[in-house]
Structure 1
């Protein structure tokens, strides 16, 4: 009986289905007017943009329907931060803001025949005029003078794999001279304090960095306005060490440290990640007033446990100093709980299988620069996974031969510092070392020897070779300072952007070069150097900056250190 009942049900269903068809078996289904491209249904509409205050940005996204491909019957809606802009009903929209911050812009295309909406959002980061760019410090008869070269995005079209695509690049048409009146006297150098990166956009942080001017009285400048906020000595409050004379510093979103001429390192734990001055130093040096010969810069680009790097004076050993304070992730609070930084400032020897390379170093440590690294397994340029790393240049005191080292330091759960990756290369003699610039994503450095520039790869990926390659560029004077912008942005997969190298010379001139690489299977290949600034349109007044003391590329925010937002 049961089997007969099942057969009856199946027969009834078959009759029902056949009744849905007409006598001609005409399947008259209505096709949906969809957009081509799935998630990337809008062309000429990137995931993010970056502009300066007051700069106009016109959006003109393009799309194609699967049915109405020529003249679709559609309406347009534009939203800013999820709020409808009722007057914006055209296919283009011009954005402009005089206030720093991050804005979400959404376009919705409505198919008037079906009422179906197709939408996509982008984020526009509005930065101040001085947030990022080439920063030059000069000495004008003992007076500190600051100059600034502003990068601007230029979009052009190129052919890639037979298709015309849009391509972003940087141009330099705005040069500003002597921008901070009464900055100070007796200039020595520049340093950037990369502050807190509000990746989740929960804390509404708009000031991402500070610029430290090293001079007779060190000045800490607001990263957006370049106006002085404090002199460094003022952060000791009423506890200034006698004869205080800072020579080096390292600052992150969670700590500040300065090394005095007496070799002591003074430390301050910050109380708030968004406030560069939520801390003060004490007059007692780290590790019971221990003497250090160097304190190196460090970039803390995320909330992971980190450390800074110093060199002891007594035995010429690298040591890590814990930098642990954090406000946590996915939180709107910018306060750093005391419990998270209870061991910050603790000095640790560097452990692991490479430990012997860091203690009792017989060679002279010439230069050490940050080179934060992201492992391929995390996805290249993912700044939230960046690990603290450095490139070091050492010299044999007897033979004058140089050695290049790259290493990554990790702070484990036991609050000790371990070297997790290490490589070194003998790179030969350098007769007149003048400076080094690091390109951390591409894993190479550029080294200046007098008025000559040399390219050198590093890293353990199996393709890099630590050999000096002379760049084909003739400089009219000796190099005074180098700095690099490892330009990686949206569209880099189409054709790699050139890394940009800033070169300041002793005759007051300044150049920007694009470094192009073409690697072979063994990693060497060829490298070329293309001058980007000054160009044929640069006025004479913008080609010389007097007696240059130092120069850096001011990154502005940690995100642009790993992946540049055009």
Structure 2
């Protein structure tokens, strides 16, 4: 009985304590003013934000109280990495950082009547200034290479999908940096990317995710975060540089670097560490017993098992260079195992076992361009697909071919082309460039001052083979110099539908444009029309002239940012 009496007294005391939270002294506290839907149910604040150094992001969380819904008597508080931000006492706050890193931000709303405090947290990841965006390479009057950079931002907007309203982000270009590295070499001819291992679980602690290689009098490899000089390509031969070597084409993955010289030999650097762009040296002995190749094509860079680089021999045969290097699927070591790379650099014939009428040996058609076209969401383990523009040397007619490479470089070595398709493309009077949107299954071909759109391949979800009829989507007043794709997807669970592809177009009068390409399709996925919406230049950046443009590219930094846009 004594225990029951003590418990009763204790409960009565606790009730008195709770009753003291209000200040109206009427002791009627059946309800407490809370956040509607739960104490952490704030709207208009993301779980994380990605911004670049020097880029502003404004966060304005919204909420409703269960009682004082319209004009609550509240105060606001913000913290950064656990420390209160002095003077930040409004519902909205703008953040801007001068160094890359990751920060935890918390927002609190305080009910002034009760003193009760409710909060929500987010993470702001600050990327290096030039980690993600468009790179425009120009040539100055003195022949100097000039790099310009266009930085993407994201803004919130509200839209309706299937009758329901929801909030999502949009990619906007608010700033352009001109001539950001004044120490580059002369006579630039183009650029390409070296992308590091995807580091799916963040085990390696990689902070420099990619590099930009500028081709010119001296090929120069630039830090992907700062676009500052790292090394000259020739220095990666050490003291073993082949006599008279001059690079013509190159393709780098995280486990293999390959260079074709102007005398048509290919040299390789088989890397041993996926987190180091400059480990090891090129071997001065040409590939495959000094076999000659007239082309070396771009490779899928983002971490494919049994990857393949494709090259064209002097007798017009398509050959496969093995790139089997992988890292362990567990642990924090970026070491590329010897077992996975011991056949890397071997050269194989490409055959088509499923269709004996298809041969890549001494082909009649010439390959104008061949680009990787893998479309799988799991970028680490995607099968390497390719799409190529070819030309019949007699009729001068062009075609699009599409195929997947099935390769094994271990116990039973083979390289097979599978799912091969070929479709007519027609005449191209003045070929300039081609880019591929792998996830959306189409290419853009620049023909003089014209842009052609053409679908290819098959839609995986429906097994529907696309018709592939080309569509003229744009004619400019000047010839095109370069076209490049930004083909990213989103988390459809949160964003409901994907973004349109974005296309960068450089003209020979120095103008650079970015367009969103909105496709209008029939029920089977075949495109009937393409609407091009200009997103750069825009209200924020009106001047889009970059002088004598040589090349452009879109760089995403971390490998997964080339496929999935991380806000």
Which band: TM-score by shorter chain? 0.7 to 0.9
2:453 to 438, 447, 455: 455
Q: Given that residues 373 and 385 in structure 2 are in contact (C-alpha distance below 8 angstroms), is that contact kept between their aligned partners in structure 1?
A: yes
Residue-by-residue CA offset, 1:338-372 (whole Å, 9 max, x unaligned) = 33321111112224325734332110110011222
Q: What TM-score comes out, normalization by structure 2 length? A: 0.82
Distance in 2 of aligned mates of 1:319 and 1:34: 64
Q: Which residue of 1 aligns with 2:417?
A: 419
Q: Deviations over 1:528-547 (max 9, x none)?
A: 112222235544xx332222
Separation of aligned partners in 2, 1:178 and 1:45: 36
Is the contact between residue 175 and residue 540 of structure 2 (CA under 8 Å) also seen in structure 1?
no
1:5 paired residue number = none
Cα 1:563–1:481 shift into 2, 3 Å: same
User: Which SS does the other structure have where 2:562 is aligned?
Assistant: helix
Partner residue of 1:9?
Answer: none
Residues 396/161 of structure 1: CA separation in 2 closer, same or farther (3 Å cut): same
What pairs with 1:527-546 in structure 2 (closer than 5 Å)?
A: 527-535=530-538, 538-539=541-542, 542-546=543-547
Aligned-pair CA distance for 1:329: 2.2
- Quick one: structure 1 residues 463 and 239, their matched pair in 2 at CA, closer, same or farther if it must change by over 3 Å? same
Distance in 1 separating the partners of 2:121 and 2:383:
30
Q: Is this contact kept in 2: 1:100–1:206, CA < 8 A?
A: no
RMSD: 3.5
d(CA) in 2 for partners of 1:138 and 1:402? 30
Shift of 1:65: 8.4
The answer for the alignment partner of 1:244 in structure 2 is 245
Query: In the alignment, which residue of structure 2 is the partner of 1:429?
Result: 427
Provide the C-alpha distance between the structure 1 equivalents of 2:132 and 2:157, rounded to a whole number of angstroms. Answer: 22
Q: How does 1:330-409 map to 2 (within 5 A)?
A: 330-351=330-351, 352-354=353-355, 356-374=358-376, 381-409=377-405
Deviates more, 1:242-251 or 1:386-395: 386-395
Contact 1:77–1:84 (CA under 8 A) maintained in structure 2 = no
Deviation for aligned residue 1:196: 1.9
CA distance in 2, matches of 1:137, 1:87: 41
Q: Indicate the SS of the match to 1:484.
A: strand
Q: Is the 8 A contact 1:423 1:460 kept in 2?
A: no
Deviation of 1:243 (Å):
0.6
> What is aligned with 2:187?
186
3-state DSSP class of the match of 1:339? Answer: helix
Change over 3 Å in CA distance of 1:246–1:507 after alignment to 2: same
Counterpart position of 1:299 = 300
Q: Measured at CA, do residues 558 and 79 of structure 1 come closer, stay the same or move farther in structure 2, by a change above 3 Å?
A: farther
- Bigger mean CA offset, 504-513 vs 139-148: 139-148
1:16-415 aligned within 5 A: 36=37, 43-62=43-62, 84-85=82-83, 96-102=96-102, 124-141=124-141, 142-302=143-303, 304-314=305-315, 316-351=316-351, 352-354=353-355, 356-374=358-376, 381-412=377-408, 414=411, 415=413
Aligned to 1:525: 528
2:531 partner SS = strand
| 1:468 aligned to which of 462, 467, 470 | 470
Q: C-alpha separation between the residues in 1 aligned to 2:105 and 2:414?
A: 44
Q: Distance in 1 between matches of 2:218 and 2:403?
A: 34
SS at match of 1:234: helix
Change (3 A) 1:395 1:102: farther
Deviation at 1:419, TM superposition (A): 2.7
Cα distance in 1 for partners of 2:391, 2:350 equals 21
How many residues get paired? Answer: 525
Measure the CA separation in 2 of the matches of 1:252 and 1:502. 23
- Between stretches 264-273 and 302-311, larger displacement belongs to 302-311
Q: Does the aligned pair in 2 maintain the 1:48–1:565 contact within 8 Å?
A: no
Deviation at 1:218, TM superposition (A): 0.4
- Deviation string, structure 1 residues 62-92 (Cα, Å, up to 9, x no partner): 5678999889999999898xx7556699877
Counterpart-to-counterpart distance in 2, 1:173 and 1:56: 10
- Work out which of the residue numbers 476, 499, 502 in structure 1 matches 2:501: 499
- The counterpart of 1:441, out of the listed 428, 439, 446, is 439
Query: Which blocks of at least 5 consecutive residues in structure 1 are unaligned?
Result: 1-29, 375-380
Distance in 1 between residues matched to 2:406 and 2:124, nearest whole Å: 34
Alpha-carbon offset, residue 443 of structure 1 = 0.7
Q: Distance in 2 between matches of 1:369 and 1:241?
A: 29
The structural deviation recorded for 1:527 is: 1.3
Q: 1:344 to 1:140 in 2, by over 3 A?
A: same
- CA apart distance, 1:265: 0.8
Distance in 1 separating the partners of 2:301 and 2:109: 41
CA distance 1:79–1:405, shift in 2 (3 Å)? farther
Give unmatched runs, 5+ long, in structure 2: 1-30
Structure 2 Cα separation of the partners of residues 531 and 339 of structure 1: 49
Aligned residues of 1:197 and 1:301 also touching (Cα < 8 A): yes
Secondary structure in structure 2 of the residue aligned to 1:516: strand
Q: 2:304 touches 2:384 (CA, 8 Å); kept in 1?
A: no
Is the 1:78–1:84 Cα contact (8 Å) retained in structure 2?
A: no
Query: TM-score scaled by structure 1?
Result: 0.82
Q: Distance in 2 between matches of 1:357 and 1:73?
A: 76
Cα separation, partners in 2 of 1:483 and 1:65, compared to 1, 3 Å? same
Determine the C-alpha separation between the residues in 2 that align with 1:68 and 1:350.
71
Tell me: CA distance 1:342–1:495, structure 2 relative to 1, closer, same or farther (3 Å). Answer: closer
Q: CA deviation at 1:392?
A: 0.7
Instruction: Compare 230-239 and 355-364 and name the one that shifted more.
Output: 355-364
> Aligned pair in 2 of structure 1 residues 75, 266: CA closer, same or farther (>3 Å)?
farther
Q: Is the Cα–Cα contact under 8 Å of residues 200 and 330 in structure 1 kept in the other structure?
A: no
Q: Do 1:250 and 1:258's aligned partners in 2 also have CA atoms closer than 8 Å?
A: yes
1:294–1:107 distance in 2 versus 1, CA, 3 Å:
farther
Contact 2:488-2:565 within 8 A present in 1 as well: yes
Deviation at 1:561, TM superposition (A): 1.6
| Alpha-carbon offset, residue 276 of structure 1 | 0.7
CA deviations on 1:394-435 (whole Å, 9 max, x unpaired) are 000111111111222233364533334332211111111111
Deviates more, 1:350-359 or 1:189-198: 350-359
